[in-house]
Chain A
Amino acid sequence: MADLLALLPLIVTTAAAIVVMLVAGFSLFGREVMALLTTGLFMFCFFVQAATLVSMPFFPYQQTFGSMLAVSPFSGVAGLIILACGGFSALASQTYFGHNKGYVPEFYAMLLFAACGMLLLTMAAELITLFIALEIMSLAVYVLVGADRERLLRAEAVLKYLMLGAFSGGFFVMGAMFVYGGLGTTSFAGISRVLAESGLFTSPLATAGFLLILICFLFKIAAVPFHAWVVDVYDGAPLPVTGFMATAVKTAVFCALVNLLLTDGSLLSVWRDILWYLCVVTLFTGNLIALGQTNIKRMLAASGIVHSGYLLIAIISADVTGASRTVIGFYLAAYALATLGIFSALSTLSGNDEKRISFADFNGLAKVHPYSAAMITVFLLSMAGIPPTAGFMAKFYIITAAFSAGQLVLGVLGLISTILSIYYYVRLIAAMYFTTPEDDFAITGLALAPAGTAVLAVAVFGFSLYPLGW
């Protein structure tokens, strides 16, 4: 019974997705009501997830369904972040589709289905279950990206994402097969048991398999050298979907990666050196790409690569205890708040058919919409890691964790990367505040996204006060 209770958020989210799917199928409600319904359902799922998390303060690494799933506080927190991302994305979509084409009622069902796949992904403790969860999430996100068939940019984005995503899925399946061939099991617990007995390098087949699985994960989190898709796909997707992809997808995939790598200390110790180099390359390549962008969406996509790099720092300096999971969870939450906030603000301000999207389009925004400009500034400062925002605390925890784990060089490189990244974040702030407005920034229609943006802006400050118990 406790097993089923731990799964309650997943069950509720799946049920919500099916309800929205049926409502969309019968065209019961209009565009506005669908957005409200979806937001409400996401909030309900969020509270179920929170209640599950609080009412079971001690999770003895519960094994459910023949150790295919495992619920831990970490997966619970990741679930909270994912569901919150879904809710705010639904709010932003309501505003976005007020002045953009391409709305289909099934959009909201896909948002919930994607969240359902992500929740499964955070709990998966077995490679085949993990793969199915990954595909549920990916399929739903492909549809979210490409639902608007009128625009070529969307078609290009969905084609690139679908093709490369299918390839990375193929790598994962092949890797899982090799791991099974080498170790005779696909469950995380079983893998760590076999590794504890014999060590990884006694089985070259399993080593090759883990390499293939790692490639799939690195593709999904857009780590260099598997980052080429991310800028075009994020640019081609509708703004709320880009926000959803940048936050929820990243949270779910990182949670699964951490669950796999930290099941057992030996698995991480084998990959630590490779991840170290990948992490450094990711940080600086991401910064270089972001420096050269003139389009805000593309800049945020490139900065997403950099944030994946910071999370990789946390993974590299992790040990098997819970503390490193806390740091990663905190960073994911802080990053999600700021990113969702800025995409929510852009959904409102971008205007008809995303016409305002480059840095120059936002010249002088502060003189016309001072509150919006102030909130965007807060989000950008949080992403750059300026105190007293949540982003600063998150970076602080990660760099401290790197130093205390003895990864001095990595910590210093992380700091240098932070300083570099300030340039492209502040560039937008400077454009908003220190130039004269050329545009009237007219916004049409009643909108819910500004409310979501305001909540997120407050949360960016509030969350930085959240004490991390270590």
Chain B
Amino acid sequence: MSQPLLFYALSLLAIVGAVGLLMFKHPMNAAMSFAVTLIALAGLYGLLSATLVFAIQLIVYAGAIMSLILFIIMFLNIQPDDLPDESGYWYYLAGGAAALTPLALLLLYGINSLSVTSTPEAPPGFGTIKEVGVVLFTDWLLPFEIVSILLLVALVGAVVLAGKREGGND
């Protein structure tokens, strides 16, 4: 019975966090607001009995990635003077919202078309580490493996773009 209530509460929290990310002027406040969204999303995954994704969302996104973002913001030591001039901010926001309204309406229409009643109950063991692992290493082995190439490219790319360079160009 509490499930719909929890769902609405968590969804509201996620949306409030996302709006805060856009609205706060200082990056630190925006990042903290983003953390609220990530944690609320973890709660939503939990409601869907996706236990592994719930844990990963908390540990990796709300934990590791958020602290990396915070580290970077603190590293840059942003003062109020460094922030860009945002005088036309509301106009841009209004324009963007107006431009995206048709798309948002289409997506809402699409989601509303899903029949809620026919959704089957999750089978036992759904979303546990074992079940996800079995699916990942059988049906989804290829995408799982090519992610390693993606990570390799990202790693080398980060070194090229940010790494220390020695003297000349040759």
A149 adjacent to chain B (CB < 8 Å): yes
Chain B min CB distance to A273 (Å): 16
- Are B107's CB and A208's CB within 8 A? yes
Known contacts A68-B143, A69-B142, A147-B160; A208 and B110 CB within 8 A of each other: yes
C-alpha spacing A106/B158, complex, angstroms: 11
- Are A146's CB and B161's CB within 8 A? yes
- Are B142's CB and A135's CB within 8 A? no
- Are A129's CB and B107's CB within 8 A? no
Known contacts A30-B170, A65-B141, A129-B142; A106 and B110 CB within 8 A of each other: no
C-alpha spacing A116/B146, complex, angstroms: 10
Most B Cβ at <10 Å: residue of A103, A116, A136, A209: A136
B69 adjacent to chain A (CB < 8 Å): no
Chain A min CB distance to B113 (Å): 4
Tell me the residues in window 137-170 of chain B with beta carbons closer than 8 Å to chain A beta carbons: 138-143, 146-147, 149-150, 152-154, 156-157, 159-161, 165, 169-170
C-alpha spacing A133/B153, complex, angstroms: 11
Contact of B169 among A21, A102, A132, A211 (CB under 8 A): A102
- Are A149's CB and B161's CB within 8 A? yes
B90 adjacent to chain A (CB < 8 Å): no
Chain B min CB distance to A249 (Å): 15
B76 adjacent to chain A (CB < 8 Å): no
B114 adjacent to chain A (CB < 8 Å): yes
C-alpha spacing A18/B153, complex, angstroms: 10
Per-position binary interface string of chain A over residues 11-49, scored 1 when its CB falls under 8 Å from any chain B CB and 0 otherwise? 000100010010000000011000000000000000000
A117 adjacent to chain B (CB < 8 Å): yes
Known contacts A139-B150, A143-B161; A205 and B111 CB within 8 A of each other: yes
C-alpha spacing A207/B103, complex, angstroms: 12
Chain A residues, CB < 8 A from B147? 132
Tell me the residues in window 70-124 of chain B with beta carbons closer than 8 Å to chain A beta carbons: 106-107, 109-111, 113-114
Please report B residues at the A interface, Cβ cutoff 8 Å.
106-107, 109-111, 113-114, 138-143, 146-147, 149-150, 152-154, 156-157, 159-161, 165, 169-170
- Name 30 interchain pairs, CB-CB below 8 A, sorted by A: A21-B156, A65-B141, A66-B139, A66-B142, A102-B169, A103-B169, A104-B160, A104-B165, A109-B156, A110-B160, A113-B149, A113-B156, A116-B149, A129-B143, A132-B143, A132-B147, A136-B146, A136-B149, A139-B150, A140-B157, A143-B156, A143-B157, A146-B161, A147-B160, A181-B114, A182-B110, A204-B109, A205-B110, A205-B114, A208-B107
The 8 closest A-B pairs by CB, nearest first: A205-B110, A143-B157, A208-B110, A65-B142, A204-B110, A204-B113, A68-B142, A106-B160
Please report A residues at the B interface, Cβ cutoff 8 Å.
14, 18, 21, 30-31, 65-66, 68-69, 97, 101-104, 106-107, 109-110, 113, 116-117, 120, 126, 128-129, 132-133, 135-136, 139-140, 142-143, 146-147, 149, 178, 181-182, 203-209, 211
